[in-house]
Structure 1
Amino acid sequence: MRTLIIAAVFVAANGLATASAADLRMSWWGSEDRHIATQEALKFCGDKFGHTIAPEMTGWTGHQEKIATQLAGRTEADIMQINWPWLPIFSKSGNGFADLNQFKDVIDLGQWSEADRKSGSVDGKLNGLPVSITGRVFMFNKATYDKAGLAIPTTWDDLFAAAPVMKQRLGPDYYPFEGNGPDARLIVILRTTQKTGKDLIDPATRQVAWTVEELAESLDFYQSMVEQGVVKSWQDEAAGGNAPLHENPEWASGKIAGTYQWSSTYSKIVGPMQEGQQLVPVEMLKVDGATTEGIYRKPSMLFAISKCSKEPKAAAEIINCLLNDPEAIRKLGATRGVPSSKVALEVLTSAGTIEPAQIEANKIVMQSTGVDVSPLNENPRVAEAFDSTFEAFAYGQLNAETAAAGIIDRINGILTGI
C-alpha cells in the first residue's frame, strides 16, 4: 500500500501558529482496515494541531525485528504502537521510551484506570498508554449446547459433565471445548493461578512462582480433560493439521463448542462460524478452592513516544487526539479492539460500533479478579520452553512431575539471563 504523507493544515482562525508545527512519524502494525482507519484519524489530528505525520505501517510479521533495529539505531518513529511484552525487552528500567507522565498536561490520563496506567509502566515510568485491554475469556457455542440439551457451563464440573452427553447425543466427534498448544498452556496457567493466587512469574524475583507440585497438579488436570473427552488430544489435533481455531472447520460447524480465547479476537473467531451458530462469552470457570478468578488481563497494545523524539509534546498531542478526541475515536473505530479510554468506549458504544457480545467479553475481562501478570510470560523463549516441554508431556514422553520440573528449570534459566 502506497505510503500516505499527511499534509499539515494551518488555519489562523484555530489559533495555530507556524512555530507550533512539527514533523512527526508514527509506526504501527495491523491489517488493511486498521491502516486505513489510522491514516484517516491521523489526518484529522494532524489538521487539528498543525502537525505533519508520516505513517509507517506494516503487518505483524517482522515488526518486532524492525522496531528493535530502529531502537538500536535511534531511528524509531516519534509515536509507536508497541506490544506489551516488549517492555521488559526494550525498557528494562523504564528508560526505553518517553515517560508519558511528563505530558499529563497534554494527555488526559484520567481516561485510563490506575490499573491500566500501571500495566503500561516500568519502575513508575509510563512507557505506553493501553489502546485496548484484552484478556482470556471462556466462550461457548450456544447452538451446539442447545442441540445437545445442555446448559452452557458455569463451572469446570459442568464442562466435564457435558463431554459424554454431547458425544452420546450428537456424535463421538463433538467436543465441548478446545485446548491445544498455546491455548492449553494458558488453561494450565489459569488453573494454577486460581489455586495458588500467583502468576507464573514472580515480579520481585523474576523466577517461576510455582512449585513443581503445584504445576504438576495442573498438568494432570489438563490431561484429565483429554482423557474424559473434553478436548482433543495433541495427537488428534496434529493429525488434523493443527489448524488455528478460526480456520478449523470443526469449530465453524459447531463440533467444537467452546474455547478460552483473547476477548479481542471475538470477531476473528466468530466470523467463520456457520449460520445458526452463536458464540457466547461467560464468566470465568473456577476450580474448587480458587483464591482468585485468575483473569489473564493485559494491554493488547500501547501507544508510546520515542525517548529520542525532537517533538515529544507534539507527539503527545497526537496520542491524546487519537485516543480521546470523539471524532478521531469514531474514525479509528474498533480496529484495535474495545478501547481502554473511558471516553472512547462511551463514543463507540453509543455509536453501536462494537458488537454486544464483544462488549460483554470485555466487561468480563475488566470485572474479573486476578493477579498482576508479568509481560515476561510472553517472552518468546519463555513461551517456547513451556510449550515444548508441555508437548512432550501431552505425547506421554514425560510424567507430570518431570514435565513441571523441566518447565520451571528451563524458564528460570532463561529469566536469569535476560
Structure 2
Amino acid sequence: MTVDLLAPAVRTAQGWTENARLQITNGKFVEIGGAGGSPLPGAVIPAMPNLHSHAFQRAIAGITEVRSPSGGDFWTWRQAMYGSLDRLTPDDVRVIATQLYIEMAKAGYARVCEFHYLHHDADGRPYANPAAMAEALIEAAAIAGIGLTLVPVLYMASGFGDRPAEPAQRRFLHIPDSYAALIEGLRGRVDLGIGFHSLRAVTPEAMNAVLDIDVALPVHIHIAEQVKEVDDCLTWSGARPVEWLLRHFPVDERWCLVHATHLTDAETRDLAASGATVAICPTTEANLGDGFFDTESYFAHGGRWGIGSDSHVSLDPREELRLLEYGRRLRLQRRALSATEALPNVGAWLWTEAASATAPTGVDTGRIAPGARADFIVLDERNPQIAAMSGDARLDALVFVNAGAAPVRELWVGGERIVAEARHPHEETSAREFAQTVARLRAAI
C-alpha cells in the first residue's frame, strides 16, 4: 500500500522542511521532500512512543486520592490497586485498554509498551487460554489502531530473596518455563519485549533463563522507584538496585529501566554509559510520591530517556514533558533548562528527544525519515497558539501552552490515519463501554 502526502511543514531530525512530500509504502516512509501528494491540514511532527503502561490501572485513576488515617504512600496505593483486581476479566481489560489506547492516540501517542503482568484468573489459575489477558490487549490496540509492543512480565516473589508471593499477587505469577511458553505463543502476533517486574519480584537465576529466550527483544524492568526498595536491596545484596543490575547483567541498548528514581552519582553515570533507556513517568511518579529523577546528572552524561504514562493519571505527553522540565526549574530556580546550544527551544528539545527514544519499543518509530515507521502527528493549526508559531516555536507552544485538549488534528500510525479532525472513529462506543465497565468494577471495590 502506498500513500502520497504533502505537508505544509515537516519536523525531521535535521529541522523543518516546508512543503514536503511524504511518500509512504507498506507503513514506512520511503522519501521525504519533493513536490506532489494529497495535502495535509497542518504541520507534521513525529508521534510520541509511550514507553510504560499498565492498562488495567486506568480503571482506578482518581479513586485513590483519599487520605488514609496513617497518611499515604506508594505502598498504601499499591494495596488499593491490588484490591481492584479481583473482578477484572479479559473482556474488562479489553474495554479498559481500548478506551485508554484511543485516548492515547488522540493525545499524540502512536505506540505503547504495555508492561503486562495481569496474567491469570481471580484465583490465580491460568485461563484455559493462558494468553487470554494478552490477547485482550492485542485486540484493544487493534481497535484503537495504536502500535503495541507487548511486554509480558515475569513476576515470582513478593520481595528480595525469593520471598513467597502475597495472596493479592496470585494473578501475576509465572515461572520461567510458563513465561517462555507465553512468549512463544505470542510470537509473530504482536511486537514483543521481555519484562521483569522488579529485582524484588524475580530471582537472578530466573532472569538469566528468561534472557536466553530471545537475545534480540527489548528488556524492561521497574527499578529503584522507592527508597524502601533501595534499602531492601541493600539488605539483600549489599548493593543498590541499579548498581546490582549493572554489576550482574549485560545492560545495554536493549534495556529499558523504568523510573530509576533513586540513584547515586556513580549509578547515574554508569547507567548513562550503558546505553540503556530510562522510562521516566513524571505524572505517575508525582502522583505516587516516588521522587524526582536526577535529570541534571543523567542528561549531563548523555543518558537516553523517554516517557511513559504508567498508571495513567494523565494520558497527555505534553504534561509528562512539562512536569519533567518544571520539576527541574523548581529544584534549581532557573528556567529553560532542557535545551542545548544546538537546539535552544526547550519544547522542541523535549519533544524530539522523547520521541526518538524508541529502542524499548523494538520498532523504528519516533522519527520522520526514510525507512522509519510512518507514525506522525498533524498539528491542529486551528489552535491559535499553534497557528501563531513557526519552526520550533510550534513545539514550544505544543508542550508549554496548555489550552485544553492536545492540538492533534490527525494521528497516523504505520501510514494509516487513526485520528481525523481530532476524533477517533470508535471513541463514542468505547467511552460508553468504559464508563459502564468502570462503574460496575468500582461499585464492587
Report the structure, 1 or 2, having the larger helix content. 1
- TM-score tier after normalising by the smaller chain length: under 0.3
Bigger RCO of structures 1 and 2 (CA < 8 A, at least 6 apart): 1
Report the structure, 1 or 2, having the larger strand content. 2
